[in-house]
Chain A
């Protein structure tokens, strides 16, 4: 009785009312309107439930960061009685979250820079120059995508140790960069291939050398691809846990954030400083939320771009 085209815009998105005459038509009726309503209604419930499942643990953590230990145990679900900022002070100084955070920032910014520089250099040459061994080098890089890092963990530990780089940020930066190269080269090589060669030729005619051509013409043209891969690498390296665990185990002052938080969670149990742990978690999570909120479009594109053609 209702042609679909007359569907009003909003009710379709609302759950069906129980007394809806359209829905009462029985099982056999194929009225698209009630079907849409029911489906969208159930869908909304499911979506809202999942949103709650995602958000609640995080909000709960933020709230607990302001409580004291007895509040955490006696009233886990209420708002904190007062804003206890000293929990954050304890996490920042006593549990060294500030230092771990800074270490993570230093390590990730250095290694992402190195990854992007070396990765785009290699990808550019492999994508746009014909030379003997080109394919072999390309596959050498791309094969790294298939290997689990854990296979290499033991020998890697000794390689780093023999180079005297164990328990140093330099070692971690070099290792992060090396392990980020397969994806970076794989992705950027495909990207550089799509760039028009007419611009490159024009640059050459104007007397541009190979190196200048790369830095002043090709790099700016490849910016969208570079940003995607950079985001992918930043998030991947920020989240690293196993590599720093192995490579920085004996230098507590050089630890990165993930290591630090994991360690605090062990100690919090001994010291019964649960509010300190919640504050530390909040310090670790909050900046990510802010960065994500600002750049969510680019981050979503950057992280999923490797998976879709």
Chain B
């Protein structure tokens, strides 16, 4: 394999590396620099040091966005993982056992296909769909039913303390199926004998779940947590399309991506927007490091 190796290696790497450096690495590197300037696009950028970051500390919208990420980070993984784990357990080991082989409940295949479907829809399209579902009058799917029964319509996206949860509900709606399939794959690799042995010792379903399935699934859970955490930091499309005037009402649903977009492409505050981008970068990094650290555990060999 020695013959003509280097020309070949360079030939194969040149185009991918060039494309990647131009559109990914170079912008990332620049972002850190722009965040230290007062660039607004018209005149040349001026170095202002940490001024943008100092302003961030006093920016109410920024802190609101950070706070929303906090809520998303707790609620989105917790709710999604809980529902998905429950369903995955039902679909894989919840049914009868025949010949020592644990099986899912009846219709498991159908449910796995249906639940997963929202995953292939674009988030922006789901956001428009739920705009319709949440509409505050009789034309909305939910309020149409409520008003049919003579109930007051619920102002899902308009009430400040309800809007963020309405958005979280949509994110959960979309995500559950993916994690059901993911956990199913993890559960499928747990040998049936372990369940059989536990059942012979008189373990109930609940015990089976908490003492057998959960510990053996730890690695997959950790992956799920990181994925959902990253999704919680990246909720742009849904907030931009679904929420009332982009992060509203009155900033009740805004996220950092929304604020970055607004500052950069509406107000042309490129330096300030980049500072927010850098803050988002460090928040994401801290989250990933923390998760991996906190969930570090001896993985069970089987």
Contacts and interface: CB of A to CB of B under 8 A. Distances in A.
Given A54-B173, A77-B145, A296-B113, A181 B24 contact: yes
Nearest to A37: B96
B141 interface: yes
Contacts of B140: 76
Interface residues of A, number: 108
Interface in B86-135: 86-87, 90-91, 94-98, 105-107, 110-125, 127-133
B261 A210 contact: no
A241 B9 contact: no
B288 interface: yes
A233 B133 CA distance: 29
Nearest to A44: B105
Interface in B175-205: 176-178, 181-182, 185-186, 199, 202, 204-205
Given A242-B257, A261-B125, A211 B26 contact: no
A2 interface: no
- Is chain B's interface secondary structure helix, strand, loop, or mixed overall? helix
Contacts of A4: 97, 199
B78 to A, nearest CB: 17
Contact of A155 (B31, B110, B128): B31
A54 to B, nearest CB: 6
B1 interface: yes
Of B117, B123, B274, chain A has the most CB atoms within 10 Å of the CB of B117
Contacts of A281: 125, 128-129, 132
Contacts of A1: none
A226 interface: no
Contacts of A181: 16, 19-20, 24
Nearest to A58: B129
Given A35-B205, A154-B277, A73 B139 contact: yes
Contacts of B288: 146
B28 interface: yes
Contacts of B112: 300
Contact of B13 (A9, A125, A257): A125
B297 to A, nearest CB: 17
B96 A36 contact: yes
A44 B87 CA distance: 10
B215 interface: no
Interface stretch (A16-24, A82-90, A137-145): A137-145
A303 B205 contact: no
B283 to A, nearest CB: 9
A214 B181 CA distance: 33
A121 B8 CA distance: 10
Interface string A1-44: 00010010110110000000000000000101001100110011
B132 A121 contact: no
A61 interface: yes
Contacts of A81: none
Interface string A230-242: 0000010011111
Interface string A284-297: 11001101110010
Contacts of B131: 265
A264 B128 CA distance: 9
A199 interface: no
Contacts of B83: 50
Contacts of B120: 235, 288, 291-292, 299
B273 interface: yes
A122 interface: yes
B177 A57 contact: no
B237 A258 contact: yes
A126 B16 CA distance: 12
A141 B13 CA distance: 11
A30 B199 CA distance: 12
A228 B273 CA distance: 36
Contacts of B90: 40, 43, 46-47
Nearest to B114: A51
Contacts of A43: 90, 94, 105
Given A211-B8, A308-B186, A285 B277 contact: no
6 contacts: A9-B96, A155-B26, A185-B16, A211-B11, A239-B237, A304-B182
Given A40-B95, A148-B230, A303-B119, 7 more contacts: A54-B177, A76-B144, A146-B288, A150-B256, A154-B31, A159-B26, A181-B20
Which 6 residue pairs spanning A and B have beta carbons closest together? A76-B144, A178-B23, A239-B122, A155-B30, A155-B27, A152-B27
Interface of B: 1, 4-6, 8-9, 11-13, 15-17, 19-28, 30-31, 34, 83, 86-87, 90-91, 94-98, 105-107, 110-125, 127-133, 137-141, 144-145, 148, 173, 176-178, 181-182, 185-186, 199, 202, 204-205, 220, 223-224, 227, 230, 233-234, 236-237, 240-241, 256-257, 260-261, 264-265, 270, 273-274, 277-278, 280-281, 284-285, 288
Interface of A: 4, 7, 9-10, 12-13, 30, 32, 35-36, 39-40, 43-44, 46-47, 50-51, 53-58, 60-61, 64, 72-74, 76-77, 118-119, 121-122, 124-126, 129, 131, 137, 140-141, 144, 146-157, 159-160, 174-175, 177-179, 181-182, 185, 200-201, 204, 209-211, 214, 235, 238-242, 245-246, 249, 257-259, 261-262, 264-265, 274, 277-278, 281, 284-285, 288-289, 291-293, 296, 299-300, 303-304, 307-308
